[in-house]
Amino acid sequence: MHPASLAERLAQAPRCLARTRSGKACQSPAVKGKQRCRMHGGKGSGAPKGNRNARKHGARSAETRRALALVRQMAKLLKQVEEWAD
């Protein structure tokens, strides 16, 4: 490959669409098939599709909801017992 043709291809390559901190456009060439350069995430494939990387903490599971409802019910009964004892 002739060095001049490489320089020409590099000059004609689409540019990265990322913005610098000063607000100017990045001057690096975009990775082939992507809109960002290698420094702005062009080499990555992105986040997993769908719900594969969802956070699973169980705070809203049916079991947790039932347990919280039971705790609330017990607190209500305890309050009634305290009122009755006074």
Q: Where are the domains of the chain?
A: 3-42+60-85
pLDDT for 2 beyond 80: no
Residue 25 phi/psi, 5-degree rounding, is -75, 145
pLDDT for 20 beyond 80: yes
Cα–Cα distance measured from residue 56 to residue 67, given in angstroms and rounded to the nearest whole number: 18
Question: C-alpha angle 66/68/72, rounded to 5°?
Answer: 115
Dihedral class, residue 50 (left if φ above 0, else alpha if ψ from -120 to 50, else beta): left
Mean pLDDT over all residues of the chain? 88
pTM for the model? 0.47
Question: Residue 1: its pLDDT value, please?
Answer: 60
Q: pLDDT, tens digit, for every residue of 45-72?
A: 877 788 877 777 888 889 999 999 999 9
Cα–Cα distance measured from residue 12 to residue 24, given in angstroms and rounded to the nearest whole number: 19
Tokens 């080499």 -> residue: 43
